[in-house]
Amino acid sequence: MGGEHDRLTAAEAASVLSWWIEAGVDVAVQDAPRTWFGAGTSAPALDAITAEVSEPVAQTLPESLEAFRSWLGESPTLPFAKGNSRRALPKGAEAAEIMLLADMPTAEDVAGGQPIAGQAWELTERMLAAIGFTADQAYVGSLTCFHSPGTRLAGDDLEACAAIARRHISLAKPKRLLLLGDATSRALLGKPLTASRGHVHKIEGVRAVSTFHPRFLLDRPSNKALAWRDLLLLMEEEV
């Protein structure tokens, strides 16, 4: 998976094993086979494939990933932008194996200079390794790059962030997309996480699955087993 497991150090292998154990994975295989990469017999199509939300993207948004990222770092007109606001900007390369899209960064994320930082990022790396990816193979972004204490993403702000996120995804061109948290699900799928989990979606033509934000899993580790199922669903072979 991803060609990386044969290069894991002992410490990295122990970290991956720890994630699997916490997620309740006690066998190497499942009841039904999964074809994750390469040619083979495809799994049956899921009954419920959610259609894309058809909100038009504002024509004023940048047309290249480089320009878009510069715009995120400089524009004073972004939702939640304030004069002294600090930003947690996206990281990663175009056409990444997987794109992670989080909701609103915390103060710790902003201090760390990325959309997910601290212990949540450590857990994220373990989740990626469990499905065969390194952090370098992931593109990580968020609905808004600003930390805004006491603010809930909703209404016009959520719609504006959704339009920006759609352009972000279309420019980043990832192979897979993992939505982290309830706000990202509501913004891009029009439904809460409880309703969107367990299904494959298409967003800007990219295979997408929604799951819990790693910081939520740190507080509620019993949900790691559900997150593991979401990761497996994301990695299933395209039909």
Q: Per-domain residue ranges for the chain?
A: 58-235
pTM for this prediction: 0.79
Token readout for 222 is: 């019993």
Q: Give residue 173's pLDDT.
A: 98
Of 176, 113, 119, 175, whose CA–CA distance to 142 is shortest?
113
DSSP summary character for residue 113: T
Can you name the residues that pair with 202 across neighbouring β-strands? 207
Q: Give residue 54's pLDDT.
A: 34
Say which residues have a Cβ less than 8 Å from residue 218's Cβ, sequence separation at least 6.
Answer: 119, 120, 123
Residue 208 near residue 177 (C-beta atoms within 8 A): yes
Strand order in the sheet with 138-142: 138-142, 98-102, 176-180, 206-211, 201-203
Q: What's the whole-number mean pLDDT along residues 70-97?
A: 91
Sign of torsion over alpha carbons 232, 53, 145, 64 = positive
Q: What's the whole-number mean pLDDT along residues 209-213?
A: 98
The CA distances from residue 115 to 2, 22, 107, 143, 235, in Å, are: 23, 24, 10, 9, 23
Q: Tell me the per-residue pLDDT of 123-177, one tens digit each, with 9 for 90 and over.
A: 999 999 999 999 999 999 999 999 888 778 889 999 999 999 999 999 999 999 9
Token readout for 169 is: 């995804």
Of 23, 192, 20, whose CA–CA distance to 103 is shortest?
192
Can you say how many angstroms the Cα of residue 23 is from the centroid of all Cα atoms in its chain? 18
CATH of 58-235, one of 3.10.28.10, 1.10.1200.10, 2.40.160.10, 3.40.470.10: 3.40.470.10
Say which residues have a Cβ less than 8 Å from residue 16's Cβ, sequence separation at least 6.
Answer: 8, 126, 129, 130
The CA distances from residue 117 to 94, 120, 122, 223, in Å, are: 21, 6, 8, 20
Q: How confident is the model at residue 236 (pLDDT cuts 50, 70, 90)?
A: very high
Distance CA(131)–CA(209), nearest Å, equals 14
Can you name the residues that pair with 99 across neighbouring β-strands? 139, 177
Given phi > 0 = left and psi -120 to 50 = alpha, else beta, which region is 232?
A: alpha
